[in-house]
Chains A and B, each alone.
Chain A
């Protein structure tokens, strides 16, 4: 034992070696069922739509939930490197979605499609047995156009709950998909804005967004005076002053009812942008060159302003959503 210790001490000091690169999965998007099949997903939901009633499509994210501040422990489960608190926030996510469903129902909405929009557990954070039992829930990953899966023109309004502020802003856990910036025709869009862009092309308005004060202010700047619920005041990217979950849920319920009434009254308009859409984005600076190289290999992209920025021109917002999802697949493979 002592001899071994001595031998170890005598070993020449070596410069620290960089850790070996993680194994890289380069499965192309087309090779895995569920990444690119957005037309099929839409065709599967459309026959289930209530054509005479009023349908709300609810995107559930987690960073903007009441009281949520910390990515490392609250946003993902222990099995994916997070903490036990994630389970509490899954319940909060489900309760906040139930609150907007209840409010929307009071105002006459008849059908609710919930799309789990948070990667933490790979898009299965909402608790199926706690969610309003009338709701349809889209869950799992990969799924086509990840945050707008199967969105279609039969939807009457889009809500986004628990949303976070855009990349580069001082909001809590602020980010935007895999990007440092994302614009369409020069307009900056956050994740809520991208959902509004895809829905807008189908004539569906984004009517309600909830999250921290940075998210609610920036989303009103992008989309106009939609209904917003500020769940907390951001103090840093991982701290904030929050309102009680029960109070947030009550506000969500009231705001959802107002949102449905305002859509019915024609007050909230879909986001319509001029075609062809000029999409420009820069990949996050934190991604290493391997990811950027995989993105560069996607069809239809042009290099734009430096080696991690790209431009894309399309006539279809869903196509742009599909491209975004192919990029998500590169950085997020389970």
Chain B
């Protein structure tokens, strides 16, 4: 970790260029699917979504379930969403690993729908929304989780205890929806536990197709449904979401510019992480408290690139 921090301290951070994915065939409607794991069907415990190779603090937080079951179930959920999107009319599918487990390599490439382009690994520009550009027709989030401090299954928000834009608290779906709005792309479908769906409706409004995969009864416990039932729901809902997206039913999530981005790093992180963020010397980033920062920008992508840099400090 120390050599990495030194390296970061001497480098002037430059926004990495967004990757260019091959454009879809003429007229093909492209769906960008961002699967996370905390909100997927059946998963309730951190051991089910962690590989143990993500850093020292994660070493003991894995179990056989992660490798034997939950990566497979995740891949089948993504396949169900793709199948539904296809029947709704989509013809191009990009899957961007949204979950940090196994360093953003959870989906099983051999079992994934062969029509999909899979973005995996870390670091990658704009972490959770790598691959976003104006060729994307609509955004689908699966397995999303509620924000930090909320009574949802494995709730958290990137590296933060608090994250607001213009005073509005955003969860991970909200943050990525704002970045996507820079390209005029809107969210059409979100799945996760009941707390996540309620919270996301407060942020994005009632527009998107929401799927409750489970009802949280603890931060690591839930009333869950069978994988078969969840896949059926995802497939049916993705078809509806894409059909409506192709008719322009969803509006990008917009907030007034310039964006006043304010966040607080997690209290549970060691001081090293705070020093690491300080040593980024990120242009325009002001410190407003011992773990609190402020950034004013008119381009949500700049917020996204800062998140990349912070994730790199955390996931050393």
Contacts and interface: CB of A to CB of B under 8 A. Distances in A.
Interface of A: 32-35, 37, 40-41, 44-45, 48, 77-79, 87, 121-124, 127-129, 131-144, 149-150, 334
Given A48-B223, A141-B218, 15 more contacts: A32-B219, A37-B218, A44-B217, A44-B223, A77-B63, A78-B64, A79-B62, A124-B65, A128-B69, A128-B226, A129-B69, A129-B226, A135-B226, A143-B217, A143-B218
Which of B72, B153, B218 is the most central at the interface, judged by chain A CB atoms within 10 Å of its CB?
Answer: B218
Contact-size category for B: 20 to 34
Contacts of B47: 79
B215 A141 contact: no
A41 B217 contact: yes
Interface in B208-263: 215-229
22 contacts: A33-B218, A44-B194, A78-B64, A79-B63, A79-B64, A124-B45, A124-B65, A128-B41, A129-B42, A129-B226, A133-B228, A137-B224, A137-B225, A138-B224, A139-B42, A140-B218, A141-B45, A141-B218, A141-B221, A143-B218, A144-B217, A334-B220
Contact of B226 (A34, A37, A132): A132
A199 to B, nearest CB: 17
Contact of A138 (B72, B221, B228): B221
Interface of B: 41-42, 44-45, 47-48, 62-65, 69, 72-73, 151, 153, 194, 215-229
Nearest to A84: B64
B222 A139 contact: yes
A140 B226 contact: no
B64 A144 contact: no
Contacts of B42: 128-129, 137, 139
A77 B64 contact: yes
Contacts of A40: 217
B225 A136 contact: yes
Nearest to A139: B44
Contact of B221 (A78, A131, A133, A143): A143
Across the A-B interface, the 7 shortest Cβ-Cβ residue pairs: A34-B218, A140-B221, A140-B44, A143-B221, A133-B228, A133-B226, A128-B42
Q: Is the interface of A mostly helix, strand, loop or mixed?
A: loop
Nearest to A41: B217
B65 to A, nearest CB: 8
B215 A140 contact: no
B244 to A, nearest CB: 26
Given A44-B194, A77-B63, A124-B44, A144 B218 contact: yes
A132 to B, nearest CB: 7
A149 B44 CA distance: 15
B223 A133 contact: no
B151 to A, nearest CB: 5
Nearest to B220: A140
A143 B153 CA distance: 11
A128 B224 contact: yes
Contact of A122 (B41, B45, B69): B45
A32 B218 CA distance: 8
Contacts of A149: 217, 221
A78 B194 CA distance: 32
B160 to A, nearest CB: 19
A134 B225 CA distance: 8
B217 A34 contact: yes
Given A45-B223, A136-B224, A142-B220, A128 B151 contact: no
Nearest to B76: A129
Contacts of A122: 45, 220
B62 A34 contact: no
B223 A34 contact: no
Which of A33, A48, A122, A128 is the most central at the interface, judged by chain B CB atoms within 10 Å of its CB?
Answer: A128
Contacts of B73: 128-129
A48 to B, nearest CB: 7
A180 B235 CA distance: 50
Contacts of B65: 121, 124
A137 B217 contact: no
